[in-house]
Amino acid sequence: MKTLAMKRPTRLALLAGTFLLAAAGAWMLAQAAVADKSAADGSSIPEWQQTEQDMKVFKTPQCGCCTDWVVYLREQGMSVEAVDVTHQQLNQIKMEVGLSRELASCHTGFIDGYVIEGHVPHEDVLRLLDERPDVAGLAVPGMPVGSPGMEMGDRFDPYHVLSFSRSGDTEIFSTYHQLEGTGD
């Protein structure tokens, strides 16, 4: 039986391995520094989510309903910083905050440490801020017709506003069965 002799690693291979370990360590330290920096002012809100406005909303420039939702929030008295990003950047943001595909919509907002995904009514955002439940945020999955920013005349699709935890658990936060002012 023939045995294979194992070659000793070359200096170049050792240097490459050392470099990769150092790069991985530097990346981990950088991630920790970002997390520490966001908490340095006593806040646990990452810097990229912070704004001088009430809410910061990430959306694509081509999406009219996202713009309509921002206008709706402003009409309700909220100050909103709208940030146009690419689809790839928006998906990355959703992944970074732990949004599942089932909760996703066309824009993602942040207010006072909470994630606001999709066409969430202003009243629910205010209720969230008033009650301060231990959740990651609120979501209106998809783009239901009749939700704020998705108005289409008298058309209306019933929908739920869901609260969601950091582990992905969801609960119904509120339910909308019809357009306001059209009955019970």
pLDDT at position 57 is 95
Q: Which parts of the chain sit beneath pLDDT 50?
A: 4, 6, 12-42, 181-184
The CA distance from 155 to 146, in Å, is 6
pLDDT tens column, 18-69: 333 333 333 233 333 333 333 334 456 677 667 676 899 999 999 999 999 9
pLDDT at position 34 is 37
**Cβ count within 10 A of residue 160:** 15
Residue type, 162: L
pLDDT at position 19 is 35
pLDDT at position 24 is 32
pLDDT at position 27 is 29
Q: Could you tell me how far CA 173 lies from the centroid of its own chain?
A: 18
Query: What is the torsional sign of CA 94, 80, 143, 59?
Result: negative
pLDDT at position 133 is 96
pLDDT at position 5 is 52
pLDDT at position 47 is 76
Residue ranges and CATH numbers for the domains of the chain are 54-176 (3.40.30.10)
pLDDT at position 151 is 93
Instruction: Return the axis-axis angle of helices 122-131 and 64-75, rounded to nearest 10°.
Output: 60
Q: Please tell me the pTM assigned to this model.
A: 0.72
The CA distance from 41 to 47, in Å, is 10
pLDDT at position 45 is 65
The CA distance from 105 to 119, in Å, is 8
pLDDT at position 178 is 73
